[in-house]
Every structure is written in structure tokens, then in C-alpha cells.
Structure 1
Amino acid sequence: MKYIPVGVDIAKHLIQVHFVDEHTGEVVDKQVRRQDLLTFFSNRKPCLIGMESCGGSQHWARELTKQGHQVRLMQGRFVKAFVMGNKNDVMDARAIWMAVQQPGKAIAVKTEEQQSVLVLHRSRRQLVKFRTAQINALHGTLLEFGETIHKGRAAMDKELPAALERMKMKLPQYLISLLEDQYSRLNELDSLIDSIEKQLISVARQSETCKHLMEIPGVGPLIATAAVASMGEARAFKSGREFAAYVGLVPKQTGSGGKVRLLGISKRGDTYLRTLFIHGARSASLLAKDPGPWITELKKRRPAAVAIVAMANKLARLVWAITANNRQYDKNYVSVRPY
């Protein structure tokens, strides 16, 4: 079936559509109200609809796919290369129309359940940031008045009450009350984070795929649920290396004249998922009783941080292989490549 390419620049209220009429060859630039977008496409032949991956794009991709259209979500940096002239809604839609016809890797369209799990992860990440900022603010305030406590939450719980008692002797009561309120908020954030983590553990226990993933050393409920939800359809990735590249666990490359030089790990990919994989790899390589000969030998040849990132890359490939093939983890499994 031949799909008609269409570029769609989505927004909150007015959505810009660009395509070329297949019968007359007329270039169409049309503004469609948000509530009329599905009606506009319901009366058209199957289209290849390109959209930038942004807020609301997953919703529109699901709804347009139900109508029989094929939707490709693309990263904004790939679309930017096709913007000609001034940047506005019309030129953005034309750039998307050109970009959707180019070969490349599209972003997976996720189900509502997968997006719901990702919302839990994003909320947890935001709360952890709030908690870290609150702890740093308390450290800075205490230092201004000559009080220092050791790093870490456990040290703060142990040393802060004594520090506040000493400060009560020389500082106004309103400042002490403020610091006590800030400290009490840490407990509130702790309870919110614990509640989200319990929900993620419940989701992991209800998913057969997550159960298989959690058998891998270094993979817990957080990595399992985040990986499955972020992956969308595992078979959309051709290999484990492609998924590792999607996460951002492969090095940058630079080369010319047939000579390619590998650089360090870039900031491309899913930052949150990459962080989880690196923490999981650190746990598997440093805390496990038997981390395995592969990582043990690698740590002898390379710096510890480099070895941990390499282990994270391996974890990502394992996660993809188990998810895509719907099988259990086997420590002694040996992959056989056809010649």
C-alpha cells in the first residue's frame, strides 16, 4: 500500500498540516484546529504522517494509527536540518514532510499503559531532585552559621537535631522553625518516593517480561519497568546494540577517509534510562558476590568507570534480547551467530 506523506506540526490549539495533493500536485499548507484534526484525517486515504516527538505526539500517534494511518515520530534535531528560511509553523510542517520521507529510526509509539508507567518514573525522578535540592539548601544554610554536618541522608538525620539545638542559643526562633519545616519536608518527600516505588514494584510483579528481566544481576523493578515502557515494541529495534544506542550507551564516532575514531559516551539518548542502567551495572559489578569473569577481566585493563559503562551497555543488550525473544535469563547461555 502506498502511503501519502504528510507533515504535521502539532501545537496546543492550531495544528499546521503540509502535503502535496496526489492528483493535482498542489502544495497544501493548512491550519487545523485541535478538535478537528482527527476528522480531517478520517476522510483521507492512508497517509504516512510525520510528527516531531514532543508533548502530545504519543496521543496523536495512537489515535491516527487507529484510523489506518502510519505515524512516524522523529526527534526534533533530525527535522531541524530540513527547515529552510525563517522558522514558523508553515516551514516546520514542510520540514517534517521532507524528513518523514527519509530513511531513519523512528521513535516507538507507546501504549497508554506504557506511558502511565513512564509518568511514575518521571514523577519519582522529579521528587528525588526536589529532595536533593532541599538537602543541599539545608547544608548551605547551616554552613552560613558555622554548623557543618557530614554528607548523606543518614548523617543529616543523626546530626541535624543537635546542630539545631546549638543554633537555638544564638539565633531567632523563626529561623529555627523554618529549618525544622524544611527538614520535615524531607520526610514527606521520602514517603511520596516510597509510594511511587511500591507502585512500580507492583507493576513489575504483574508483568511476565519484567519478571524475566529482574532475574538479570543488576536489574531491579526500576530498570525493568522503565526499559519495557521506554522500548515500546521491542522488535522495533533490530538488535540489542541498536537499543543500547537508543539509550545512549555507545560512544560517539568521528572519522574521515575511512578512518573512524571512537570517542566518549555522549549525552544523546534517554538520559534517565541510561542513568538507571549505569547504576544497575555498578551494583552488579561492585556489590555482587560473583560479578563474572567478563567484567572482572575488563576492570583489570580499563578504568572502573569505563568498565561500568561497558557493563551497562551489556545489560541493555541483555534486556532487549530477553524482551524481544520473550525468554528467561540464562547465565550460561551462549549466543551462536550464523556464518
Structure 2
Amino acid sequence: MNATRKAVVGVDTAKSVFQVYTVEQATGEVINKPIKRAQFVQWFANRPPCLIGMEACGGSQHWARKLQELGHEVKLMSGKMVKAFVGGNKNDAADARAIYMAAQQPEVKAVAIKTEAQQAVLAMHRIRQQLVKMRTAQMNALRGLLAEYGEVFGTGRKAFDAGIKAALGRLAERLPMPLIETLRDQWNELARLDARIARIESSLLTWMREDRAAKAIFAIPGVGLLTATAVVAAMGDAKAFRSGREFAAWLGLIPGQTGSGGKVRLLGMSKRGDTYLRTLLIHGARAVLRRPKALSPWLQQLSQRRPLNVVIAALANKMARTIWAVLAHDRAYDKDHVSMRPDTAVAR
């Protein structure tokens, strides 16, 4: 049995030099050595198919696809899970050995390996997120500068745009013109950032219209363009999760817990996983609750007995489970669908 078992290799990736750890099955020899980037793929090309463990970090998706093309099985793992197997001082050799050990543990969950198309969509989301932060910082900086001269504005972008033109006109009578022109350029930069963000959203919309999975979950209340495209690209294969609850846990939308001696105490949301996806689902749930007449009986009852933020988190959790169900079972969203346990469905 041991002769037919796949060899396991732990790889600690880096920018230029990778550390590789494995135990030769035939001789028991321990190999723990550095390999330069240029020779990395070639080293695995000369080996029979094996299980390769790597931390899910920068560049790991690229190398996972390259190694899969050679016929190897790749298991990407969270760095937090691998850390538990590091003994003694932390260095490249110890990290590679920890990855080797973690890759063999069935309870260490694997991170989905994404296609280049999925990574491209996520990259567009990251760039858009960065542009939104830049736009917010730009507007806040202008507010602060103008407040130094007695010009303040209402909350929000609309109130800011409505008042800044008149404010710059008033300040032009008192301040040097170079400063006024600089402030006006900074204000115009907001419009340029708006245009760049709009172009990215247009590209995401085009991709969503061509992707069957994204279109399917777009029909779920609270799931918009950003949520639909980001979830499909980040999730990979929905069947990698055993249930909707596991997917919600991966997003950090279930309660954390602590306990000992058989006594378990539930905490607030664990907030593990992808912060960006969790934020999108929370905002989507908040948008649903702004239409009280369209709420389901479950939401109406929950809203009457629980605080608003608890209701929002509960709805985001349910949205995540619904997304998983639609994608894992490859079916259209049905608001009247009633889920049943498999044994119950067979009995009926």
C-alpha cells in the first residue's frame, strides 16, 4: 500500500528561492533544500505525480496551475492552519516541513485553485476597491483643507459637489489663485476616479452576463453586480464546500465559539475568511432590509425581536447559504423553494 501511495512535497514559496521538503518513499531520505525560481517547475517535471502542499499566498495560484499541468495534485492551505505545525524557530526549512505535515492532515481545508479568468475578475475588484479608497481619501482631504478657511459641507458626495463650486468662488476673492487652481484640480480628480470605477463596473457587468453561475446568483435579493462576480470568482468550485453552512463559515458569517469540558459558549461573528466578500454580503442584506414591505415573514418576525445588526448578519448568513445551494446544485433561484433533508425527500 505504501508503495502506491503518492509522495508528499511541502513547498515554501518565495520571490526568488523556494524551499522544498519531502521524504523519499523508497529510501526514507529527507530532502529539505532550496530551489531557485528558474529550476522550480523543472524539478517537479522530473518527478512522478505527487501531492504538493503550499501556503495560499502571493503567487501560489500561478504555481498551483503550473504544477497541475504537470499532473501533480496541489493542496493550497491557509497560512494560519500551517502555522500550527511549525516547531521551534521559524525559517524557510521549518516552514517547508510544516507545510509537508499540514498537507497530509484531512482536517486542514484546502483553498480553491482558481482559473486565470477568475483571478482576473478578482484583480478588477481589488483595483476598484483601491480606487474607491483613493476617491474617499481625496474628498476627505479636500473637506479638511477647505474647513481651514471656514467652508464646510453636508455629509455625502452629493452635498460636497453641490457646495464646493460656490466655496471655491468665495475663496478666490481671499486666497492666492495657485491654491484655488490646485483645489479645483483635486476636485476634478474625483470625476476622473468616478470614470475609472465606472469602466471597471462595466467590464464586470459584461463578464457577469456571459457567466452562467454569476447570472444565477444575481437573482437572489441582496446580491448585486459586485457580489455576484466576486463570489463566483473567489469560491471556485462550490462543491468544494460540503454545505451552505461551511461556505458561510468560510466567509466568517457564523458565530465564533469557545468552550471546554463540554460547555460551549457562542461569541459574535467569527469574521474569518475574505473581508471583502463578507462586507458585500452585509451591505446587500442591509439593502434588502430597507424595503420593509418586501420582507419575508421570517425576516419580519426576526426584526421584531432582535437588534438591527443581528438581523443584518443573519440575513447575510442566509444569503451565503442560498448562494452555495444555487451554485452547488446548479439550479435557478426560487424564492418559494423549501429545502428538505435528503432522507425526508426520499420518504416523500
* Paired position in structure 2 for 1:332: 336
After TM superposition, the structure 1 = structure 2 runs for residues 15-54 of structure 1, keeping only pairs within 5 Å, are 15-54=18-57
- Tell me whether 1:230 sits opposite 2:234 in the alignment: yes
In structure 2, C-alpha distance between the alignment counterparts of 1:167 and 1:251, rounded to whole Å? 52
Identity, in percent, stands at 57
In structure 2, C-alpha distance between the alignment counterparts of 1:25 and 1:48, rounded to whole Å? 17
In structure 1, C-alpha distance between the alignment counterparts of 2:293 and 2:140, rounded to whole Å? 34
In structure 1, C-alpha distance between the alignment counterparts of 2:340 and 2:272, rounded to whole Å? 31
C-alpha displacement at 1:289, in angstroms? 4.0
Aligned residues: 339
- Tell me whether 1:13 sits opposite 2:21 in the alignment: no
Which of the numbers 43, 61, 64 marks the counterpart of 1:61? 64
**What TM-score do the two structures reach when normalised by structure 1?**
0.97
Which of the numbers 310, 317, 341 marks the counterpart of 1:313? 317
In structure 1, C-alpha distance between the alignment counterparts of 2:299 and 2:282, rounded to whole Å? 14
Which of the numbers 140, 160, 163 marks the counterpart of 2:167? 163
Q: What amino acid does structure 1 have at the position aligned with 2:197?
A: I
RMSD: 1.2
**What TM-score do the two structures reach when normalised by structure 2?**
0.95
C-alpha contact (below 8 Å) 2:251/2:271 kept by paired residues: no
In structure 2, C-alpha distance between the alignment counterparts of 1:19 and 1:329, rounded to whole Å? 46
- Tell me whether 1:240 sits opposite 2:244 in the alignment: yes
Q: What amino acid does structure 2 have at the position aligned with 1:40?
A: W
Runs of 4+ that moved beyond 3 A: none
Q: Which runs of 5+ in 2 are unaligned?
A: none
Deviations 1:257-314 (A, max 9, x none): 1111111113311000001111111111213641211111111111111101110010
C-alpha displacement at 1:6, in angstroms? 0.8
C-alpha displacement at 1:86, in angstroms? 2.1
In structure 2, C-alpha distance between the alignment counterparts of 1:276 and 1:241, rounded to whole Å? 18
Which of the numbers 66, 70, 73 marks the counterpart of 2:73? 70
Which of the numbers 87, 90, 93 marks the counterpart of 2:90? 87
Structure 1 stretch displaced more, 167-176 or 320-329: 167-176
* Paired position in structure 1 for 2:212: 208
3-state SS of paired residue (1:28): strand
* Paired position in structure 2 for 1:195: 199
After TM superposition, the structure 1 = structure 2 runs for residues 127-142 of structure 1, keeping only pairs within 5 Å, are 127-142=131-146
C-alpha contact (below 8 Å) 2:254/2:317 kept by paired residues: yes
Q: What amino acid does structure 2 have at the position aligned with 1:277?
A: L
* Paired position in structure 2 for 1:176: 180
Q: Which runs of 5+ in 1 are unaligned?
A: none
3-state SS of paired residue (1:85): coil
Deviations 1:232-266 (A, max 9, x none): 01100000011111111111111111111111113
C-alpha contact (below 8 Å) 2:124/2:200 kept by paired residues: yes
* Paired position in structure 2 for 1:277: 281
C-alpha displacement at 1:79, in angstroms? 1.3
C-alpha contact (below 8 Å) 2:253/2:271 kept by paired residues: no
In structure 2, C-alpha distance between the alignment counterparts of 1:174 and 1:88, rounded to whole Å? 54
